[in-house]
Structure 1
Amino acid sequence: MSHTAHIPSHRKPRRSSSKLALRAGVAGGVLSTIAVASGAGPATAEPVTETIEMPTLTSGLSAAVAQSAEATSQVALDLELQAQEDAAAAKAAQTAKKAKAEAERKAEAKEKAEAKKRAEAEAQERASRDSERTTLSAKSSTSSNATGSAATVVAFLKAQLGDAYIMGGTGPNSWDCSGLVQAAFKTVGVDLPRVSEDQSVAGTQVGTSNLQIGDILYWGGAGSAYHVGVYIGDGQYLDAANPSKGVVIQDLSGYPASGAVRVL
């Protein structure tokens, strides 16, 4: 036996492999735990991350709210402008309607005034003609039968000067040629046929070179005449000429008659 066998060794006792493994395992576990904790750190920090990003979300929401408010304000402005335009259009339409009504009223008043003026003028002219006819009739009643009859016929005819020509007219203010001649001779009691053809053969045929006042002139053939008038002396005759002239005095030289008949 060695003399050093009982002297304690100053070396640390050798650790067994199992203990080393155990310690290594514990250390590894601790490191693993730290690693896991370290790896889990971001997960637990996620709320912090969201909190940091909140200002960005709030800024976007504010912009959206501001945009919405601006759009609402624009809509309100558009509605107000539309209301103003509608009100202006309604006012303009009402003004135009009043102006039209006023113009129509003035036009109607003017038309009534002109119609009244025309009616008064026609009444005055008619009264003047009636007075002239009455005077001529009174004068002719004092004449001799033959001379007086011709004078009465001519006086009646002259009283119709200016009257209108209307086909088929028999008076008192519009005539055709035969209607005027018939009415004129009726004032002295001579009943003539109504139309020119018959009047052209109603009396004694006389030549146009030997005419007397009161002779009936005709144009066309005897029995087929298309126009008649009455000779009033001095190479003139009076007739209801046509729609453009009416009742007028004309010269035979300008429109010579075809023939004449004498009934007085």
Structure 2
Amino acid sequence: MKEIKYLIPYVLISSFSYYFAKNGVDQVSPAIFMSMRYFIAGLTLLPFAKHLKFSWSILILSIMTSTSTALWAYGLIYVSPAESAILSYSMPVFSLPIAFLMVKEKPSAIEIAGISIGFAGVILYGMPLMHGFTLFGAILTIANAVFWALFTVYYRKLKEEDPVSINTMQFFIGGAILLAYIPFDTRFDPGLSFVADVLWMALLGGSVQFILWNVMIKMSSVNKITVLAFSVPIFTMILSIFIDHEIPNIMEIAGVIVMFTGIFLSRLKGGISVVKETST
């Protein structure tokens, strides 16, 4: 699997990012925290960008990414990192029809089965975690998953573009968009851990994570890559065993087995049927 060298660091970074983000938005408003994340990430990528250009495609991408980020961050106020991860991983279900409508990627039966089974595993895995979350937080987080699916498919539309250049631009534009939310929530009470939170989310959970995801989407179909996202909850459970010494319960083990089955099925030979793919 050619994506494995990108998938492993992506899963590692993503698994930790939920906790750094949660700690960050507990101290300052999500708009302040995420706009700082975006601008620092953009500045980090700037020296490596081959050609920066503003276009309607980049603007649309930036609206999608910043909206996804805002919904996720505000959702984290109401749900735990674990609950946020579970709700966010409804994303592959949304990417399936969006990929067909936006870039004409017709999924194979194997890919549909892989995503469906993987999502069933997410539900099983998440059942023991889903206690006390608010409906509002759940709605925000699931809406984030929709926009995550949207910008993932849009990355596919822009697959001929340099990933570093388009992400540099979308970080700057997205950061400016996120600034518009600040007047609605000006909370700013950072503690000692805030620097680590914002640096992780800007450097690893920002520039590196977005580039890795973008590169994987360039390499293969949307449906083949998005199903790999189920690896994050799987790794999160393994991580908790070694770090927190928490033994997973039967539902979590069953969920991980089902998610792994979904990933395995999606990687079987079957491919996709591309009706017609457009690019901008």
Calculate the TM-score normalised by the size of structure 2: 0.23
**RCO higher in 1 or 2 (8 Å CA, sep ≥ 6)?**
2
Which structure has the highest strand share of the two? 1
Tell which structure's C-alpha radius of gyration is larger.
1
